[in-house]
Amino acid sequence: MDSTLERLRRFLPSIFRKRRPHSRITMPTPKALPLHKVIMVGSGGVGKSALTLQFMYDEFVEDYEPTKADSYRKKITLDGEEVQIDILDTAGQEDYAAIRDNYFRSGEGFLCVFSITEQESFATTTEFREQILRVKCDKTEDMIPFLLVGNKADLDEKRQVSVEEATSRATGWKVPYVETSAKTRENVDKSFYDLMRKIREQKARENQKQNGKGKKPKDPGGRPKRKCVIL
């Protein structure tokens, strides 16, 4: 009996070879899509939610319902590449100001919105920008993707903020200025897509820097990098 087995083992070695626990055929794992995190900031009533809902669902919401915080996710094609956008629509109302820091920290790019019909909302953009720079204190200004957005462009007859005034502030901050209307959809897609391109560029720069570790990074100019102080 033993010798028969031995003979078989010699002639048919494959039968006795140990089986692998798993098959060699593997299913392709779906590649995670790049995710870009956008934060909507600006004072109450300027149209952050209206812009977000117009971008997400192609609809204009007439009613004003102050937001606490809402998040949205959408799969889109950005310059031929499938990506996901995460939008965090924050509260402009002062009652929620205390929770903004945490939201801002998680953002990769910012749409800073004011209403062209309200001078005060334009003035407040400075405070929002300062808060973002404070929270993102491990980055220099030029490392933070940011767009200044003048919304309600359809209400030109009620305009309180001129294009020149807004452009001049944006130029001072070295960021783009774009006028939108959540009502007519003017420049709504452009704002989100332009910001995502900036986020993508910034991520590529950061990856490049990581891959070229050891090399001294060039001074990107602008504000020097600061250390964060956790209060």
Closest CA to 97 of 37, 41, 38: 41
Per-residue contact string for residues 53-82; x = within reach of Mg ion by CB under 5 A? --------------x---------------
* Minimum CB distance to ligand GTP, residue 121 (Å): 9
Q: Which of 38, 41, 49, 200 binds ligand GTP (CB under 6 A)?
A: 49
Task: Indicate whether 49 belongs to the interface with Mg ion (CB under 5 A).
Answer: yes
Handedness of CA 91, 92, 94, 99 (dihedral sign): positive
Q: Which is nearer to ligand GTP, 95 or 206 (CB)?
A: 95
Token pair in block for residue 69: 């915080």
* Minimum CB distance to ligand GTP, residue 154 (Å): 5
Alpha-carbon torsion, ordered 94, 165, 156, 190, to 10 deg: -80
Closest CA to 107 of 191, 186, 208, 202: 202
Q: Which is nearer to ligand GTP, 135 or 188 (CB)?
A: 188
- The entry of Mg ion, ligand GTP, none near residue 93 (CB within 5 to 8 angstroms by kind) is ligand GTP
Q: Which is nearer to ligand GTP, 139 or 152 (CB)?
A: 152
Query: With contact defined as beta carbons under 8 Å apart, do 48 and 42 qualify?
Result: yes
Q: Which is nearer to Mg ion, 66 or 217 (CB)?
A: 66
* Minimum CB distance to Mg ion, residue 49 (Å): 3
Token pair in block for residue 181: 């209307």
Helices (runs of H) and strands (runs of E) counted in the chain? 7, 6
Task: Indicate whether 181 belongs to the interface with ligand GTP (CB under 6 A).
Answer: yes
Q: Which of 34, 37, 44, 143 binds ligand GTP (CB under 6 A)?
A: 44
Task: Indicate whether 38 belongs to the interface with ligand GTP (CB under 6 A).
Answer: no
Edge-to-edge strand list for the sheet holding 177-179: 69-78, 81-90, 35-41, 109-115, 146-151, 177-179
Task: Indicate whether 202 belongs to the interface with Mg ion (CB under 5 A).
Answer: no
Number of CB atoms found within 10 A of residue 96's CB: 16
Per-residue contact string for residues 103-142; x = within reach of ligand GTP by CB under 6 A? ----------------------------------------
Number of CB atoms found within 10 A of residue 157's CB: 6
**Burial of 116 per CB tally in 10 Å (0-12, 13-18, 19+):** buried
Binding site for Mg ion (CB under 5 A): 48-49, 67
Binding site for ligand GTP (CB under 6 A): 42, 44-50, 61-64, 66-67, 91-93, 151-152, 154-155, 181-183
